[in-house]
Chain A
């Protein structure tokens, strides 16, 4: 059996080094390059993290849905592995979006949570991710699990435009696109790029791991180690 991952260790190490450098530069820019906001002060810097993880959470949901559709069309387990990897990271980012948003809200609105349209849509997205993994964990047959979770992943896509457009379609208190200093915009962009790179790297590693685990399981079944 092929023991090594299909992606060489050197390219993974090089990518990890690149992503770490990007994140270090991003950290420096968030704390030292971006100007201090007048009204909120240093707490406003949470926005650079919050927007980046929110973007990754939504991108994770879209990637999970699209790869799930590809699985249903092709019935190739590689797409199911991509879908699971994107879903895991999307869920992680959705959790961080709610947590960092709540911390920011406590300073800006003096409350940890309010049933505001975008916040509610984001919570629905988090719940859909949780449901997706509950379905995955409760079905043992790999093909049935992939098929059912793919349907759920495609349904989850419906919440993405709702999260994005909630501030425009419904009246809420969540900021839409606030006026920003050009330096702030640069930092926000770098932050989104850095977190996206980290997200992609982790998704690739997880997908490779899921493929290896599937190959090991199939070999174990052939040799009769497991049923």
Chain B
């Protein structure tokens, strides 16, 4: 029974670990995307001022 429980626990732990890793990767990509959007926003807000100058 211990062997059976170990096998199933191992399988679920591996799948859960992979799913968590996927979530972490998604979070990192989103942060990079946010940083890019912030950078683009700053560039756009700079444009009118440079034209006015």
Residues of A at the B interface (CB closer than 8 Å) are 1, 3, 42-43, 45-46, 49-50, 53, 88-89, 92, 95-96, 99-100, 103-104, 106-107, 198, 202, 205-206, 209, 212-213, 216, 219-220, 223, 225
Shortest Cβ distance from residue A42 to the other chain B in the assembled complex, whole angstroms = 5
Q: Does B1 contact A (CB under 8 A)?
A: yes
Contact in complex: A209, B29 (CB < 8 Å): yes
**Total interface residues in chain B, CB < 8 Å:** 23
Interface string of B1-26 (1 = CB under 8 A from A): 10110111011001100110010011
* A45-B29 contact in complex given A216-B36, A223-B36, A223-B40, C-beta closer than 8 Å: no
Shortest Cβ distance from residue A226 to the other chain B in the assembled complex, whole angstroms = 9
- A-B contacts at CB below 8 angstroms, number: 67
Contact in complex: A96, B29 (CB < 8 Å): no
> Secondary structure at chain B's binding surface: helix, strand, loop or mixed?
helix
Contact in complex: B3, A43 (CB < 8 Å): yes
CA distance A3 to B40 in the complex (A): 14
Contact in complex: A1, B33 (CB < 8 Å): yes
Question: Which A residues are CB-close (under 8 A) to B4?
Answer: 42-43, 45-46
Question: Which A residues are CB-close (under 8 A) to B18?
Answer: 88-89, 92, 202
CA distance A61 to B29 in the complex (A): 27
Shortest Cβ distance from residue A114 to the other chain B in the assembled complex, whole angstroms = 17
Question: Which A residues are CB-close (under 8 A) to B7?
Answer: 46, 49-50, 99-100, 103-104
Shortest Cβ distance from residue A84 to the other chain B in the assembled complex, whole angstroms = 12
3 shortest interchain CB distances as A-B pairs: A46-B7, A100-B7, A103-B7
